[in-house]
């Protein structure tokens, strides 16, 4: 979500200023802020990253991750939205199978999604890449699952 900041001498109020707020992959939805800027009955529509998304690949490089890194539970996000004065009208989750057929695809993906393996460099992870290449050659591909949550919420009238 983009936050707008204005000089204090401007009379510009975003309270209840939007009919629709959209977001794709927010790191941490600011539910009170979303509720504040929506008009009564206004809609928040977003695709959030789901729990443990692509962790098969992440943990291949970084090892087991702390439980909190797996968070993004749709039920918890829904409860947080409701607590902020939004009514969740649709909540859907999906796990999409990703198949990586060669190490070049893995390198490309990790260079694009730098937050998955923050210190990724081919040289640094050469041994892991060699093991992964062996796995791909033996099994035909490396499989990981991308999880996503669609959430549609409305600001409660008078909320």
Q: Is the pLDDT of residue 6 over 70?
A: no
95 bridge partner residues: 147
Decide which of 123 and 27 is more confident: 123
Rg value, the chain, Cα: 20
Confidence of residue 117 (pLDDT cuts 50, 70, 90): very high
What is this structure's pTM? 0.79
Digit-coded pLDDT (tens) for 43-67? 999 999 999 999 999 999 999 988 8
pLDDT (mean) for 30-41: 94
The Cα-based distances of 68 to 9, 64, 72, 74, 120 in angstroms read 41, 12, 9, 14, 21
Q: Is the pLDDT of residue 11 over 60?
A: no
pLDDT (mean) for 140-155: 97
Specify the pLDDT at position 104.
98
E strand intervals along the chain: 18-24, 38-49, 86-100, 142-155
45 bridge partner residues: 22, 152
Q: Is the pLDDT of residue 70 over 90?
A: no
The candidate with the shortest Cα–Cα distance to 153, out of 44, 11, 72, is: 44
Q: Average pLDDT of the chain?
A: 91
pLDDT (mean) for 27-34: 91
Q: Is the pLDDT of residue 124 over 60?
A: yes
Specify the pLDDT at position 25.
86
> CB–CB of 80/153 below 8 Å?
no
Digit-coded pLDDT (tens) for 73-94? 999 999 999 999 999 999 999 9
The 3-state DSSP composition of the chain as helix, strand, coil percent (nearest 5) reads 35, 30, 35
Q: Does domain 19-155 have CATH number 3.40.50.150?
A: yes
Percent of the chain with pLDDT over 70: 91
């Amino acid at each position: 979500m983009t936050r707008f900041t204005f000089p204090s001498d401007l009379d510009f109020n975003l309270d209840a200023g939007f009919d629709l707020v959209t977001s794709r992959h927010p790191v941490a939805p600011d539910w009170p802020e979303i509720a504040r800027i929506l008009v009564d009955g206004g809609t928040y529509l977003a695709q959030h990253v789901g729990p443990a998304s692509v962790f098969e690949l992440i943990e291949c490089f970084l090892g087991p991750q702390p439980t909190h890194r797996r968070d993004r539970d749709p039920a918890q996000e829904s409860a947080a939205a409701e607590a902020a004065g939004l009514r969740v009208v649709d909540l859907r989750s999906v796990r999409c199978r990703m198949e990586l057929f060669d190490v070049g695809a893995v390198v490309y993906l990790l260079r694009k999604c730098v937050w998955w393996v923050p210190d990724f460099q081919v040289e640094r992870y050469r041994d892991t890449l060699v093991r992964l290449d062996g796995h791909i050659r033996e099994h035909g591909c490396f499989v990981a699952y991308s999880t996503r949550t669609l959430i549609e919420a409305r600001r409660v009238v008078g909320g």
